[in-house]
Amino acid sequence: MQGNENALTIVTPDFITQRVSNLASLKVTVVGAGGTGSQVLAKLFQLNNIAHALTGEYFQVEVYDPDTVSAANIGRQAFYPFDIGKNKAEVLVNRFVAFSNQPWEAHPEQFAPQIDSYSHHTKRVIFGCVDTVSARKTIHAAFANANDCIWIDCGNDANSANVIMGINARIENQRTYIPTVYDLYKQQMDTDPDTNVESCSAEDAINKQDFGINDMAAAYAVQMFWQLLRHGQCEYQGVQIDLSTGETHAIKPDPDLWAMYGWEPSVH
């Protein structure tokens, strides 16, 4: 997906700009602590240290993942042999907390918030690092019901990735909705069943997702958050990455492009 001259510039939502001077009140939720999620967390740890250096405060980070570390996770994901059998979210949070005073919280469970709790009180940034349609639908339901929320979805296969940001928030005091990965691929997600299959070995895991693709997706996802947090805007809604060809294309926030994918502003 690439945009044209009608593409928009995404201005930072009000709930982010209002919290730049009170960063401790901003909550970042990472759903999934596997291949991409563990890389996102490492980059958020770095970003939080930068934010603290600039403002004297850390933003909050919470991590959801019910899975435990297996031998197949060693190497491709940010885990080591002594982590095997432990919960992924708890392992990573304990590791990062040991090296800083950042306010991190682990939830060794699936992200399944009560939709009613995602009301006008919910103001957060969600990084979706999941590999099933059902998990994305859960995130989308919470996102759509929230008053102020950013959802950055990271999806990848063996050597390519899509990173797509959706926004449901006030921007310059006007209600704004930027379509999510689910909005743009709704027909496909509603008809395709979940196809995730657990890897039995490190070799299987690498065949499923080649070395570097998770790190690339995570880098762009967290960079988009940084653009909004630090620079007040982001010129792109996402990226397409292909490691086999070395090509990366920006996905522009373009209403014509959204319409091509079947999404109209009045439908969400």
Strand stretches in 143-232, DSSP E: 148-156, 160-171, 174-178
Examine residue 268 and state whether it is found in any structural domain, yes or no. Answer: no
Examine residue 29 and state whether it is found in any structural domain, yes or no. Answer: yes
Question: What residues form DSSP beta bridges with 61?
Answer: 28, 104
Domain containing 98: what range?
A: 10-260
Examine residue 100 and state whether it is found in any structural domain, yes or no. Answer: yes
The pLDDT value given to residue 259: 94
Examine residue 265 and state whether it is found in any structural domain, yes or no. Answer: no
Q: What is the CATH number of the domain that holds 175?
A: 3.40.50.720
Distance CA 90, CA 105 (A): 8
Give the residue among 151, 36, 20, 43 at the shortest CA–CA distance from 96: 43
Examine residue 267 and state whether it is found in any structural domain, yes or no. Answer: no
- Residues 175-230: tens digit of each pLDDT: 999 999 999 999 999 887 665 444 333 444 445 667 899 999 999 999 999 999 99
The pLDDT value given to residue 5: 60
Residues with Cβ < 8 Å from 8, sequence gap 6 or more?
Answer: 252, 253, 254, 255
Distance CA 97, CA 178 (A): 33
Examine residue 147 and state whether it is found in any structural domain, yes or no. Answer: yes
The pLDDT value given to residue 134: 93
Name the pTM for this structure.
Answer: 0.92
- Domains contained in the chain, number: 1
Examine residue 120 and state whether it is found in any structural domain, yes or no. Answer: yes
pLDDT, tens digit only, all 268 positions of the chain: 344 566 899 999 999 999 888 899 999 999 999 999 999 999 999 999 999 999 999 999 999 999 999 999 998 889 999 999 999 999 999 999 999 999 999 999 999 876 556 655 668 999 999 999 999 999 999 999 888 999 999 999 888 999 999 999 999 999 999 999 999 999 999 887 665 444 333 444 445 667 899 999 999 999 999 999 999 999 999 999 999 999 999 999 999 999 999 998 865 5
The end-to-end CA distance of the chain, in Å, is 20
**φ and ψ at 192, to 5 degrees?**
-90, 130
H helix runs in the chain, sequence order: 14-17, 35-55, 88-97, 133-145, 181-184, 186-191, 202-208, 213-226, 255-260
